[in-house]
Amino acid sequence: GAVVSQHPSWVICKSGTSVKIECRSLDFQATTMFWYRQFPKQSLMLMATSNEGSKATYEQGVEKDKFLINHASLTLSTLTVTSAHPEDSSFYICSAKRDRGEETQYFGPGTRLLVL
Amino acid sequence: AQSVTQLDSQVPVFEEAPVELRCNYSSSVSVYLFWYVQYPNQGLQLLLKYLSGSTLVKGINGFEAEFNKSQTSFHLRKPSVHISDTAEYFCAVSDPSWGKLQFGAGTQVVVTP
C-alpha cells in the first residue's frame, strides 16, 4: 500500500506557458502532501506543504504566485508552474502522508519538466 | 532547525562487497531518521526508518542502519551489494512536530562487477 502517482511523467513546454502536474495517492487518503524540486545531481528541496482544504505553506524563497498548489481532495494535489521559463526546468516530486501524525512520506515517481 | 550531512558524494564498490554510507545530523530536538533510495529518473523509495526503540534498524533489500545518538549518526550498511543497488541514496531527518523532511546531499553508489 501507500502508492503515489504523478502525471505527467515528463513534459516539454514553451517558455511563457503554464504547466500543471498532478499528484495522486492511489490507495490511501493523504491529509498532507509535499512538493519538492530536484536539480540534476542535487538533493531534494522542499517547495511547499499542502493540506487538504487549506492553503499551501511555501518554503522561504519559493514564489507562491509562480508555483500554484491546490489540494482539492484527500487524494489529489496539483502543482501549476505559471509562465514557465527555462530556469524552471527541473524534476518535480511529490510525496504524501496518510495522516498528520504519521512520520513517513510516500513519494511519487516524479515529473521531469523541460521549458524551452 | 535540523541539518543532514552525507560525507561521501560517491561510493564505488565491487559486486558482493560490503558498503557503508555515512550520515550525520544535527538537531536540538529528538528527530526521526530515514534512508531513501532513488533510481535514475524515479522518485524516492523508503529503505528504512528510525523512530525510537532499538538502535539497529533493518530495512528492505538487505539494508540496515544504526542510530548512534552520541555521535549523531545514522549510517547505512549492506553486507553484500548487487549491481541493482547502483542508485542515489538519501539520508533524511524530520522533526516530529513539523513533519518536514530535511535531506542530505545524497550519495551515489556505483556497483561494478
Question: In the predicted model, is pLDDT for residue A85 greater than 70?
Answer: yes
Q: Report which of residues B53 and B1 the model is more confident about.
A: B53
Query: Which of B41, B46, B100 has the CB atom closest to A104's CB atom?
Result: B46
Please tell me which residue, A103 or B67, carries the higher pLDDT value. B67
| Mean pLDDT of the B2-23 span | 95
Residue-level pLDDT at A17: 96
As a whole-number percent, the residues of chain B with pLDDT over 90 amount to 79
CB B71 within 8 A of CB B24: yes
- Nearest chain A CA: its distance from B80 CA (Å): 26
| Angle made by CA atoms A44, A48, A54, in degrees to the nearest 5 | 155
* B11 in contact with A, Cβ within 8 Å: no
Residue A99: per-residue pLDDT? 75
- The type of residue at A19 is V
What pLDDT score does A21 carry? 97
Is-contact A39 A73, C-beta < 8 A? Answer: no
At A34, the amino acid letter reads: F
Mean pLDDT of chain B: 93
- At A86 the three-state DSSP class reads helix
| B30 compared with B63, residue with greater pLDDT | B63
Q: What are the DSSP calls for chain B, one per residue?
A: --EEE-S-SEEEEETTS-EEE--EEE-SS--EEEEEEE-TT--EEEEEEE-SS-SEEE-GGG-EEEEETTTTEEEEEESS--GGG-EEEEEEEE-TTT--EEE---EEEEEE-
Q: Which helix H or strand E contains A95, and what residues bound it?
A: strand A90-97
Interchain pair B44, A104: CB under 8 A: no
Rounded to whole angstroms, the Cα distance separating B93 from B26 reads: 9
Over 80: is that where the pLDDT of B4 sits?
yes
B41 touches chain A (CB under 8 A): yes
Given this model, what pLDDT does residue A41 score?
82
| Interatomic CA distance for residues A30 and B91, integer angstroms | 23
pLDDT for B35: 97
Q: Does residue A106 belong to the interface with chain B, where contact is any CB pair within 8 Å?
A: yes
Q: Which residues of A touch B49 (CB under 8 A)?
A: 103-104
Tell me what pLDDT residue A100 has.
67
Name the residue among B43, B87, B106 with its Cα closest to residue A94.
B43
B73 interface with A at CB cutoff 8 Å: no
Residues of B in contact with A105 (CB under 8 A): 101
Are B103 and A95 inside 8 Å of each other by CB?
no
For B60-66, what is the mean pLDDT? 96
Beta bridge partners of B20: B77
